[in-house]
Amino acid sequence: MKKIYLSSPTIHGEERQFVNEAFEKNWIAPVGFNIDNFEKEIAEYINATSPSEFFPIALDSGTASLHLAYKLAGIKKGTPVFVSDSTYCATVFPITYEGGVPIFIDSERDSWNMDPAALELAFERHPEVKHVSVVHLFGTAAKMDEITEICDRHGAVLIEDAAEALGSFYHGRHCGTFGKYNVISFNGNKIITSSSGGMLLTPDKESHDLAMKYATQSREPVIWFEHHDIGYNYRLSNVCAGIGRGQLLHLEEHRQAKKHIYETYRAGFADLPVTMNPVPEGCDPNYWLSCMLIDRGAGVLPMTVLDAMKEKANAEGRPIWKPMSLQKVYEGSKLVTVEDYPVGYDLFDRGLCLPSDIKMTEEDLSLIIGAVRSCFGKKSVTIH
């Protein structure tokens, strides 16, 4: 039985054309026409729905992009930062790289993202905080109208981690355009990929140039190697940028395929004591990962479902992201929640990510749905 992956790359053909051109012209270093054009094409896509213009820099990972975003935002040793608790570690680790102190903000149920009520409470408790980092989990937008209003009122710089949300929109505006500094990812599991890679979106030419300096080891503009600041080797390669350019041509196709997967699962689980990851009003997600939350009292654990999918369909899933405040590395950190039991903890207790690979066939989806239904004592259903 073939293996069904959680979310693997889907390659078409244009990627090879751009990569071949890089080889033919001997531009395989972290400079070249593919990088220049990839940045230009992302800017055209992102800026099309934004009231402001953003200046992108192609970097070798989303994590590197977040690191430079935090540097540009002024985070340094001892700087407290409000950050989403339910997220992958890449959102938080770069805060720690700079010596910042993360203060975690719980999720809300409408979107599974940062709770605006918890953020407001956090500012009441810690009015000195001037930095907020918000994540769009699994490609679903956070409530950015409320979050940006709160940040503006408290004079806080907003950093937007849209690593999972390329192609997602909030009230018609692209995710990754609400913060002062914004990040998207092209990791191998994302909706489009450049093998590895990410993009930092800066608000002006001055911050763009400073980020570019940091990303190229802080070299001064002289003929010899001169360094006045600590820098990093963070630029994306011209070869990987070629892959990204080819992938970008198929972004809308990938979005629609991801949405079909989500809708198929929702129909297949309609009579089960489960819910899918929510789509709040005003959000047009990219449906990067389809997720499932098991009702309390259903008597079925996420690991039971994951094991059944693996055994019956050879399908890969995983638990929902473990909140960062529960991670050993951040033991003793502060978490702000308005609930008796944090929402993010509850999502981790009862949730799982379903196979969301757009190369899945209808037969693959039927196998997975049948495996999940078997955990609840239900027969398979016909998928149309």
3-state secondary structure 273-322: CEEECCCCCCEECCCCCCEEEECCCCCCCHHHHHHHHHHHHCECCEECCC
Cα–Cα distance list, 159 to 82, 245, 254 (Å): 10, 25, 26
Encoded tokens for 287:
């449906």
Residues comprising the chain, all counted: 384
Cβ(168)–Cβ(185) below 8 Å: no
All residues at 6 or more sequence positions from 383 whose CB lies less than 8 Å from its CB, including other chains: 264, 267, 268, 362, 365, 366, 369
Q: What is the pLDDT of residue 258?
A: 98
Q: What is the pLDDT of residue 30?
A: 83
Q: What is the pLDDT of residues 313-363, one digit of tens each?
A: 999 999 999 999 999 999 999 999 999 999 999 999 999 999 999 999 999
Q: What is the pLDDT of residue 384?
A: 60
CATH for 251-375, options being 3.90.1150.10, 3.40.1690.10, 3.20.80.10, 3.40.50.720: 3.90.1150.10
Domain limits of the chain? Answer: 14-248, 251-375
Cβ(140)–Cβ(277) below 8 Å: yes
3-state SS, residue 110: coil
Domains 14-248 and 251-375 share a fold: no
Neighbours of 310 (CB within 10 A): 15
Q: What is the pLDDT of residue 380?
A: 79
Q: What is the pLDDT of residue 382?
A: 72
Cβ(231)–Cβ(220) below 8 Å: no
* Pairing assessment for the beta strands 335-336 and 101-105 based on DSSP bridges: parallel
All residues at 6 or more sequence positions from 64 whose CB lies less than 8 Å from its CB, including other chains: 198, 215, 232, 234
Q: What is the pLDDT of residue 379?
A: 82
Low-confidence stretches of the chain (pLDDT < 50) are: none
pTM score of the predicted model: 0.96
Cβ(320)–Cβ(291) below 8 Å: yes
CATH architecture of 14-248: 3-Layer(aba) Sandwich (3.40)
Q: What is the pLDDT of residue 381?
A: 75
All residues at 6 or more sequence positions from 151 whose CB lies less than 8 Å from its CB, including other chains: 132, 157, 158
